[in-house]
Amino acid sequence: MGAEMTGRERILTAIRHEEPDRVPISPRYSAWFIAEYDDISLENQLRQLPDVDFMHIIGEPTRNYIYTCPENYELPDVEVRQKRFPDGDCEIVERTFHTPAGEISDVTRIPPAGREYGVSPNPVKIEHLVKSRDDLPALRHILPPVGDDYSSLHRAQEIIGDRGVVMPCIRSGLDHQAGDARGMENLMIDYYTDRELFDEVIDIFHQRSLQAISNALESGIEFIFGSWYYNSLSSGWSPAIFEEVFVPQIREHVELTHSFGAIYDYYDDGKLAKSYTMIAGCGVNVLETCTPPPVGDFDLAEAKQTVGDEVTLKGYVDLLYVIKHGTPQLVEQTVREAMEIAKPGGGFIIGSSDSFREGTPRENIETYFRACKHYGQYG
């Protein structure tokens, strides 16, 4: 047995498909942590989670006015008229953007945090900004310049030190972008009825995502966290559309990242059984969250055998039926089985199918970390 590795060394060794001292432990836990602790600072995460090998995600610096509804907008040539009013226990936000190219508007329902909505509920678009091709010139006016200030990520890396790595979240052209500006259902119809509009809406945001990756890497960032869950087959896309439309976009993300010598972590917390070989074929370094049934359809043993030499698999442990609602015995059994399947030869980072949820028993969380350390040892 060699010397104990740091979290950063452990992660990089696993991604090189070599065997570290133990399998890196990097679950998603933000929802549980927010509910559990008043102080959610990175410093407190480091204190409270001594066994985590941090793959810490921070939002990239570009303001997103498609998905969010702030009080103030930094759009010098655009007038924004915004009205908020209650709708039951939710809030409705009606917006109209008066741009040099015309007006566009949308309506968003924002649920409150807590109760059935969870600690960080997503807003829901009732009316989308892009209702026809005529809205695209105005849409471009409400997209701020792609940000290039990554100082907050560098500060976070200084805080984490050798405990792990920091990654900016660069979203696909769909995630919280075209998927919210036009609407997923509308885009799926557009694919068949107005392919020109479909391609143009997505490409507007895809090009911005490439610029965001370039800006991050030019600032010295070493990891990119690519968020692609709107592109998931769980969202309703067919494998054929995924291969035709999204695979080339994934490949562009990855090739740009690799041209800087950086690492690309691909995120889809939905079904992957019919897409993971295509994703691996794009050259991604890490694939998560590898969600098993019943929520997902990921077969860890099959994936380890078919793409395990190409891509590092990350995640797997079901946050709901195992970690939240399961017994400590089920948690330990699930971790042990995952390690038996995916640990040999490296290329595995144990995590979770998504963020551990509020209300998860602390005993199950503690069992998870204890089992990961015990069964994840090499040598």
Residue 118, pLDDT score = 73
Residue 231, pLDDT score = 98
Residue 246, pLDDT score = 98
Q: Please determine, for residue 240, whether its predicted confidence score (pLDDT) is greater than 70.
A: yes
Average pLDDT score over residue span 164-187: 98
Question: What's the token pair of residue 365?
Answer: 């969380």
Q: Please determine, for residue 358, whether its predicted confidence score (pLDDT) is greater than 60.
A: yes
70 falls within a domain: no
Half-sphere exposure of residue 195: CA atoms within 13 angstroms, side-chain side: 4
Residue 344, pLDDT score = 97
Strand ranges, E, within the chain: 54-59, 79-87, 90-99, 102-110, 124-127, 164-171, 223-227, 263-267, 286-289, 312-315, 348-350
Q: Are residues 223 and 87 in the same domain?
A: no
Task: pLDDT band for 115, please (50, 70, 90 cuts).
Answer: low
**Residue linked to tokens 């399998």:** 23
Q: Are residues 163 and 124 in the same domain?
A: no
Averaged pLDDT score across all residues of the chain: 96
Task: pLDDT band for 250, please (50, 70, 90 cuts).
Answer: very high
Q: Are residues 119 and 260 in the same domain?
A: no
Q: Please determine, for residue 275, whether its predicted confidence score (pLDDT) is greater than 70.
A: yes
**How far is it, in rounded angstroms, from Cα 370 to Cα 358?**
20
Average pLDDT score over residue span 352-363: 95
Q: Please determine, for residue 192, whether its predicted confidence score (pLDDT) is greater than 90.
A: yes
Q: Are residues 157 and 185 in the same domain?
A: yes
Q: Are residues 219 and 88 in the same domain?
A: no
Q: Are residues 125 and 149 in the same domain?
A: no
- Which residues make beta-bridge pairs with 105? 96
137 falls within a domain: no
Q: Are residues 342 and 317 in the same domain?
A: yes
Task: pLDDT band for 117, please (50, 70, 90 cuts).
Answer: low
Q: Are residues 110 and 239 in the same domain?
A: no
What are the angstrom distances between the C-alpha of 39 and each of 59, 117, 121, 349?
Answer: 19, 21, 19, 27
Q: Are residues 116 and 249 in the same domain?
A: no
**How far is it, in rounded angstroms, from Cα 340 to Cα 259?**
34
68 falls within a domain: no
To the nearest whole percent, how much of the chain has pLDDT over 70? 99
Q: Please determine, for residue 119, whether its predicted confidence score (pLDDT) is greater than 80.
A: no
Q: What is the pLDDT of residues 15-66, one digit of tens each?
A: 999 999 999 999 999 999 998 998 999 999 999 999 999 999 999 999 999 9
72 falls within a domain: no
Task: pLDDT band for 106, please (50, 70, 90 cuts).
Answer: very high
Average pLDDT score over residue span 90-116: 93
370 falls within a domain: yes
17 falls within a domain: yes
Q: What is the pLDDT of residues 330-346, one digit of tens each?
A: 999 999 999 999 999 99
Q: Are residues 31 and 84 in the same domain?
A: no
238 falls within a domain: yes
Task: pLDDT band for 113, please (50, 70, 90 cuts).
Answer: confident
Q: Are residues 117 and 246 in the same domain?
A: no
Q: Are residues 86 and 214 in the same domain?
A: no
Task: pLDDT band for 2, please (50, 70, 90 cuts).
Answer: low
86 falls within a domain: yes
> Which residue, among 10, 22, 86, has the nearest Cα to 378 in the 3D structure?
22
Range of the domain at 123: 79-129
CATH of the domain at 368: 3.20.20.210
Q: What is the pLDDT of residues 301-313, one digit of tens each?
A: 999 999 999 999 9
Task: pLDDT band for 70, please (50, 70, 90 cuts).
Answer: very high
Question: Total domain count for the chain?
Answer: 2
**How far is it, in rounded angstroms, from Cα 9 to Cα 1?**
15
Q: Please determine, for residue 1, whether its predicted confidence score (pLDDT) is greater than 90.
A: no
